[in-house]
Structure 1
């Protein structure tokens, strides 16, 4: 089967795939849409970076396509419905980045609690300890499981909320995360870790109604798409001091422009989508995606081989 790789991958992964399929590695095509379209008609599999949008146009240009692999985090540029209509399966690793994301959120929480001071009982401005804090996990992802294992070692209390999971779901108990309603999560959390996967129905979920219930001096670490937040509401909560600091792993272009509410906001830290990208997580994700794509492509190839053998008999 023909496999086109535009995402930089570990050489051992490429070699492994090359022994099983006809692999072309061409990262330059990610910057040349016209040349990419010309390469698609014969391809059965693609491994694409987030900069390449997967939409009806791309899928229509690849009539033989069966599977798309995404090693890097985030699927905001993938039209899931279009993939379904074209019967193309999207392959990602659900757990490869969990450790990296958990460490990122832990580091962000520790940094903000200590670096951004609050008034102590004696009137002095001082930092806080994670061990005396309640950490709210908004979104139950594999990284939540890691955090739920790490945070108690600091002495922190953990609670969680996920709109897609009922409080009676076994997963809460399995991961040792007490579920609470969203309002209660906001009211209890000294640290709010937002990792809920973004879907259009969640646009502006964290708006005035929710952020208005944030515990005083709350700090926020967010891995999710920034559209989860209403930027006007977030700016207002930060100016009032209800949210003392926020650390976001990427924002939309224009979010911090001079005419936008968060422009020049003190104690707002932005990183360029680095939470899930570590040397170790990239290797784990690449192998997971490669093995699953090989499985699917091999399965798709079998009927064609059988048909060719019958026609040649």
Structure 2
């Protein structure tokens, strides 16, 4: 059977049913790990909906000669060859803004967790230990400076939440025009990148992976950070030099780090991040909550249907 819409990764069931009501739809989240089956499923398909595990490149597009639209259940587009899509006149639709609150909340919660440093003692306390003196060295968020690298929608939401906790946000974004309203909607000090790394008690990354941002958090920039400062990365793994970060944490220079994204996902055997102290690792989940999945899926279903109606 030929399907007009193919969904290769998980999507909210209600949104899938909305699509099924309008067009023959194949929903099979296992297709992301089965490229041959996915290629076969695209014969006759007009729309493909993916998350971040499906690689949409020229080779895959060739198997879907009738494709008109690719819906992305998220905002990052580095798994989609935009040039190949343009050449084929395939519209690419990201779920811009739909998961921004989820990411911003993750950043603030991780920042507080890393600064306080007291929430990893459950097993000790349950076993009768009382590490009160050691854990009394935790720090408050209030009065700290948070450096936001990338001041788009998510970065601005992080700044608003950070101010609610008494933090002072500083930001760097060479792409956002200086007269953009985002700089004034949320009071923030605009600074150069090197100054941000030197001044911030917490640094959070919100940039795409491009030649300009690859390896942006290098050993040299990590060395510029304050002793005890913390780092949160919910953008893309290649932005951070993982080996350099692991070394800095092992040496005790940084106070901690939270990584939700990695150079290779899932992490390969022998990763330098294994067993590193004061490091929180999560599986590319910052933007995914029950609520955000509903918003993202609903938005993409609506926009894909609109694109197909206009194609």
Q: In structure 2, what is the equivalent of residue 70 of structure 1?
A: 72
- How much does 1:288 deviate? 1.1
Q: In structure 2, what is the equivalent of residue 282 of structure 1?
A: 293
For the 8 Å contact 2:156–2:182, the answer to whether it is kept is no
Deviations 1:150-196 (A, max 9, x none): 22222111111123224443321123322110011111111111121
Q: In structure 2, what is the equivalent of residue 127 of structure 1?
A: 138
User: 3-state DSSP class of the match of 1:183?
Assistant: helix
For the 8 Å contact 2:74–2:95, the answer to whether it is kept is no
- How much does 1:257 deviate? 4.7
Q: In structure 2, what is the equivalent of residue 202 of structure 1?
A: 213
Return the alpha-carbon distance in structure 2 between the equivalents of residues 202 and 116 of structure 1: 33
For the 8 Å contact 1:223–1:248, the answer to whether it is kept is yes
Q: 1:165 pairs with 166, 172, 176, which one?
A: 176
5+ long unaligned stretches in structure 1: 118-122, 301-313
- Flag the structure with larger Rg: 1
Structure 1 pair 14–136 and aligned structure 2 pair: CA distance change class (3 A): same
Q: 1:265 pairs with 265, 270, 276, which one?
A: 276
Deviations 1:259-282 (A, max 9, x none): x55443211221111101100000
Return the alpha-carbon distance in structure 1 between the equivalents of residues 208 and 96 of structure 2: 12
Deviations 1:18-70 (A, max 9, x none): 33333232334334322222221211101123222111110011111010112
Structure 1 pair 263–99 and aligned structure 2 pair: CA distance change class (3 A): same
TM-score calculated relative to the size of structure 2: 0.86
**Pair 1:149-2:160 in alignment:** yes
User: 3-state DSSP class of the match of 2:10?
Assistant: coil
User: 3-state DSSP class of the match of 1:64?
Assistant: coil
**Pair 1:221-2:232 in alignment:** yes
Q: 2:147 pairs with 136, 143, 146, which one?
A: 136
Deviations 1:230-266 (A, max 9, x none): 23432343344332211100322586754x5544321
- 1:184-195 equivalence runs, <5 A: 184-195=195-206
Q: In structure 2, what is the equivalent of residue 91 of structure 1?
A: 93
User: 3-state DSSP class of the match of 1:131?
Assistant: coil
5+ long unaligned stretches in structure 2: 120-133
Return the alpha-carbon distance in structure 2 between the equivalents of residues 228 and 183 of structure 1: 15
